[in-house]
Amino acid sequence: MLRTFLFGILIILLLNSLKAQTPKYSNEFMSIGVGAKALGMSNTVTGHINDVSSGFWNPAGLVNVPTNMQLALMHAEYFAGIAKFDYGALALKIDEKSTAALSIVRFGVDDIPNTIELIDNDGNIDYEKIKSFSAVDFAFMLSYARKSVKFENLDIGASAKIIKRKAGNFANAWGFGFDVGAQYKYDKWLLGLFAKDITTTYNTWNYTFDDKMKEVFALTGNEIPSSSVEITLPKFILGAARSFNVYNDFSALAAIDIDITTDNKRNVLIRTNPLSFDPHIGLEFDFKKMVFLRTGLGNIQKETNSDGKRRTSLQINMGVGVQIGKILTIDYALTDIGNNSIALYSNIFSLKFNINRNE
């Protein structure tokens, strides 16, 4: 099994080395993360995630959803409310050994002024011609997880995802890709592997411009975009977690994830050619599995100050969670979007509902 996995990685790297230069960022809205629990732990959940959000983080974890059905909802706003991020997912238990889930992600900036027709050919300004449009990214993920028949304590899962991106009526893209994951329990250790965009995800962009827009592009010296393909290269995440009994009803969980990217374009702690390694850690303390306190450290980068000196920066996140009865869980996270500035910290709330159909 290990040899097959390593061989697969080698083949993917060889294929990617033959590709034309790829963009540094593609489908980056899928890197933000979902669920206040994971965000509060700096996304360090690959090895131990076991709820409906596993469809996003590691589909293998879906098989450990504790109830027949589980529903998750999240809304977040970034850049002083300019950008909206919404997430919803539903997991359904098929039987004792398998679970399916549907996840939807939306990241959008709405009501963007379109001033293409603000000034007519005579130089007159007509504010009534200002129209608005939205720049929106969607992801639809259908996931399936199953307990391994051959290997005890091994869970496996996969997600097929469709990407839809659009900017008004003049630019849109469709993309398709696959994620696969595995989780393995060894003694008190929870180990995870998540291969994101394992087949490489391709977004095909198409543009539609009327004569007025083409004229504006020409007059302003801008090139008219043409149909193109955007590529998202594979990303591998290794995760390990271990739980500890702290004192009586108090316990803790410590986790570490290592993101391995293949585009050789990331400013991360360890960068080689062609792989880059981005470690992040998370901690969760709980009381009777009812009240949770979380923190995480990630986004470790080398930066150059204004005086030319190099320094290491990092991102600290934190959060809390409350389990209300057997049905509702409310999670909160205070998370930075990556600029290490208190002004850019966002308040994230998410809800999780447990539903037993037989009840």
Domain locations in the chain?
2-284
Cis peptide, bond prior to residue 234, ω within 30 of zero: no
Q: Which residues contact 50 (CB under 8 A, 6 or more apart)?
A: 61, 64, 65, 66
Hey, what are 272's tokens? 């080689």
Q: pLDDT (tens digit, 9 = 90+) per residue, 118-139? A: 666 666 776 777 778 888 999 9
The residue ranking higher by pLDDT, 92 or 167, is 92
Nearest-angstrom CA–CA distance, 80 and 341:
13
Does residue 231 surpass a pLDDT of 50? Answer: yes
Nearest-angstrom CA–CA distance, 351 and 1:
37
* Signed CA dihedral, 190, 146, 46, 248: sign only: negative
- Residues in a beta bridge with 75: 86, 349
Nearest-angstrom CA–CA distance, 124 and 177:
48
Nearest-angstrom CA–CA distance, 161 and 255:
27
The per-residue pLDDT for 18 is 37
Nearest-angstrom CA–CA distance, 144 and 113:
41
The per-residue pLDDT for 19 is 42
Instruction: Please give the C-alpha separations between residue 318 and each of 41, 180, 283, in angstroms, as whole numbers.
Output: 7, 28, 9
Q: CA 109, 297, 72: angle at the middle one, nearest 5?
A: 50
Does residue 42 surpass a pLDDT of 90? Answer: yes
Q: Which residues contact 103 (CB under 8 A, 6 or more apart)?
A: 34, 52, 53, 55, 56, 87, 88, 89, 139, 140, 141, 143, 159
The winner for highest mean pLDDT among 20-29, 71-80, 154-163, 255-264 is 154-163
The per-residue pLDDT for 11 is 37
Hey, what are 118's tokens? 């603000």
- Residues in a beta bridge with 354: 70
Hey, what are 327's tokens? 């049905």
* Signed CA dihedral, 53, 58, 59, 63: sign only: negative
H or E, element range at 219: helix 211-219
Q: pLDDT (tens digit, 9 = 90+) per residue, 314-331? A: 888 999 999 998 899 999
Confidence category of residue 299, pLDDT binned at 50, 70, 90: confident
Tell me which residue has tokens 């996003």: 56
Nearest-angstrom CA–CA distance, 254 and 340:
23
Q: pLDDT (tens digit, 9 = 90+) per residue, 272-297? A: 777 889 999 999 999 999 999 999 99
Instruction: Please give the C-alpha separations between residue 217 and each of 13, 225, 228, 312, in angstroms, as whole numbers.
Output: 39, 10, 18, 42
The per-residue pLDDT for 275 is 84
